[in-house]
Structure 1
């Protein structure tokens, strides 16, 4: 899954619980982190990990690949909700803004 795909997943009405359950993620976990492979871009593969699993690391090895923390899921969901209020904002626009945030704050 890529960041634009994840944004669209929520913009079409799916819930956080809809997302977590089939992936074996605990919806009540303190924080689920969104990681991506570098270089960050619209087509970067995303992975999702519980914060306890990554121990707060910004780089995490998984299935032989290196992933880098973008932000936690709560930050992402807030950005998605705010993005829905702006009728001219596209999934690509929001994804680029989120990637820029991750690059500046990573």
Structure 2
């Protein structure tokens, strides 16, 4: 996510070869912060489709993931 981190901020997706796994990454003079491991992100998307979570709105899922990334990760 672009800095400053904000729930409505811009996302960027970069290959691990480009970021070299760094937590902070600059691309075209824009600073990005890695919110989660890519595989965690894929698991979270898959989990969002399970019976318990399928009732949640996309916005609520986004809020939950954002809060996790900012406060718990």
User: What is the TM-score normalised by the length of structure 2?
Assistant: 0.79
Runs of 4+ with >4 A deviation:
none
Q: Where does the alignment leave 5 or more consecutive residues of structure 1 unmatched?
A: 1-35
Q: Identify, as 1 or 2, the structure richer in strand.
A: 1
The corresponding residue for 1:57 is 22
Q: How many Å separate the matches in 1 of 2:57 and 2:27?
A: 31
Taking structure 1 as the reference length, the TM-score comes to 0.58
Q: Alpha carbon RMSD of aligned pairs, Å?
A: 1.5
Larger fraction in helix: 1
> Alignment length, in residue pairs?
70
After the TM superposition, which residues 26-65 of structure 1 pair with which residues of structure 2 at under 5 Å, given as runs? Answer: 36-65=1-30
Structure 2 gaps of 5+ residues are none
